[in-house]
Every structure is written in C-alpha cells, then in structure tokens.
Amino acid sequence: MYSMIRRKLTVTVCAAGLGVAGAIVLAQEGGGPQQPWSKFKVHDMTRPQPPIVTPGTFSTPDQPGKPPSDAIVLFDGKDMNHWQAKGGGDPTFTLQDGVMLSTNLQDPSNNKYLQSKDQFGDVQLHVEWSEPTPPKGDSQGRGNSGVFMMGLFETQVLDNYQNPTYPDGACGGIYGQYPPLVNVCRPPGEWQTYDIIFTTPRYQDGKMTEPAYITTLQNGVIIQNHQRIEGPTGHMIVAHYPDTMLEKGPIELQFHGNPVRYRNIWVRPLEALEKQQQTGEVAAPAAPETK
C-alpha cells in the first residue's frame, strides 16, 4: 500500500515537473525535437562527444607555457625543423639561446620571410615574441616583423610601446586595413603573446563567398574581434580578394631587418573539429599537410 502511494506520488511529481525531469528522460532516450540545422535532435545522446584535450599552461616572463595536448608545436626552442625560407631552403631566422631571432646572422644577405613547412586553413595560433632592447629606430622601423596567415594576411608585429605609427600598421593591426582595438604592447624586452583565431576565405565556383576573419588577443586582451579581412595585405595597396585562392597556406613570420625574438609557437588546425561539431563526423587527430 505504501509503495503504491509512493509510485503514484512519483508519477505526479514527474508530470508536474516536466521541465527538468522530462528533459532528463528525453535526453536519456535519444533527444527531443529535431534541430533543423543538423541531423541531430536537441539533447541527442547519440551525437559524438567532443574530443578530449588536456589544456596547456600559461607562460611566465621567464618560462614559456605548455601547449594544449592536441597542438602542433611549430617552435619550442630546440630546432627550426618546422620552418624553411619562403619558397624553400634553409630557415632564414637564427636559432639562438632557445629563441628564433628574426635576422639571419649566418647569411645576412638572405632575408627571405620564414615559412612553416606545413599548410594550414582555419586555425588557433599561439605566438610569443619580444622586441629588441634597447629600442632602435622609430615608427615602422622599430622592431618590425609580422605574423602572416596563409602567407597572405599580416598581423603586424612592431615595437609600438611609446612609438606611434600609422594606426593601420600598428602592432596587432591587419596591415594596411584595420588598427587594433587598443594598444596593449609591453615594453621592449618583455615577452608578449598573440592568440589568433583565423578562418580562411571561402570560395565557390570561382568566387569569394566569405572573406577571411581574424580574432586576435594580445597579452590576453582582445584587439581584433572577428574582424573581416579585406584581402591579402600589403604596403600602400587597397586590398582586394583575387579570383582564386588555395584553401590552405603556410604561417609566415616577416623578416624586416629587426632582430625580434620568437618563442613558443603552436597551432591547432580547426577544420576537422568544426566538421564534427556541425555534422557529427568524428574528427581525426590533427594532421597538417606538408608541402
């Protein structure tokens, strides 16, 4: 008798509290209504679980942090095996005391940009750099380098600490297009970070259908918020998109004659993860294409 009353009570309580209890039951039994934007139902337990990633650690002034577990480490201070001169050949930067110096001490006449051997599309990229101290030169001549996505789109690297320049060429600017939202530069000699989230331009039937977008945090502060990129960057040009573009390209670091130091560079390709998120097709571990 007591158990019958309890069962009745349970049913009544469940029915009354359908918002919470019902959601749990539906989730356990395969989900609620169909999502029109995916092949899954709302709260669908058959949808693949997101891959597990062990987070890294933050850097300190003295010590580079650890990358997340699924990152491709492009530079950890030991060698430049992931890099080549733009277009091929030995790296043009100099490996010195666990950092890469953006100047060629072995062959000063060889001043090509440094290029990753791997090709990338949509990525999360982490880069750390430190400007020469004491500072030399001014405006664009002080500590100039750059981080190029797909070898085409430059995020400016510059010693912009108490050193004004044209704003669309400021540190963190999309060169010649958009200044950073704020100037969050540290003084020369201190380590700084870029965390860049980049999506490639999309092309269909020979036409650009979506421009590239970039979100950038410098030293943990957002300086580009899902900013549209107007086309490949360049000096004194009005950017526009070409008729065709490869789907992937290298990450490049600019050789501009100033000895900027780089450390702790890692990248996470996002396409496979985005595909799993959107279609449920399980992401394989990140594997870059090497040219």
Interface residues with Mg ion (CB under 5 A) are 144, 146, 156, 254
Q: In the complex with Mg ion, which residue's Cβ is closer, 116 or 144?
A: 144
- Whether residue 7 contacts residue 1, with contact meaning beta carbons closer than 8 Å, is answered with no
- Whether residue 152 contacts residue 201, with contact meaning beta carbons closer than 8 Å, is answered with no
- Whether residue 103 contacts residue 93, with contact meaning beta carbons closer than 8 Å, is answered with yes
Q: In the complex with Mg ion, which residue's Cβ is closer, 148 or 191?
A: 148
Q: What is the spatial distance between Cα 259 and Cα 186, in angstroms, rounded to a whole number?
A: 17
Q: What is the spatial distance between Cα 72 and Cα 74, in angstroms, rounded to a whole number?
A: 6
Q: What is the spatial distance between Cα 183 and Cα 178, in angstroms, rounded to a whole number?
A: 13
Output the smallest distance, CB 169 to Mg ion, in A. 8
Q: In the complex with Mg ion, which residue's Cβ is closer, 144 or 264?
A: 144
Q: Measuring CA to CA, which residue among 258, 281, 235 is closest to residue 132?
A: 258
For 122-162, the DSSP string reads SEEEEEEEE--SS--S-GGGSS-EEEEETTTEEEEE---TT
Cα four-point dihedral sign 33, 34, 35, 40: positive
Pairing of strands 118-119, 261-269: unpaired
Output the smallest distance, CB 235 to Mg ion, in A. 9
Q: In the complex with Mg ion, which residue's Cβ is closer, 146 or 176?
A: 146
Angle at 248 between CA 197 and CA 122, to 5 degrees: 20
Q: In the complex with Mg ion, which residue's Cβ is closer, 122 or 252?
A: 252
> Before 91, cis peptide (omega within 30)?
no
Output the smallest distance, CB 131 to Mg ion, in A. 12
Output the smallest distance, CB 139 to Mg ion, in A. 12
Output the smallest distance, CB 121 to Mg ion, in A. 23
Output the smallest distance, CB 289 to Mg ion, in A. 26
Q: In the complex with Mg ion, which residue's Cβ is closer, 122 or 154?
A: 154
Structure tokens given for 32: 């609620």
Output the smallest distance, CB 142 to Mg ion, in A. 11
Chain position whose Cβ is nearest to Mg ion: 146
Q: In the complex with Mg ion, which residue's Cβ is closer, 148 or 269?
A: 148
Structure tokens given for 199: 């999506």
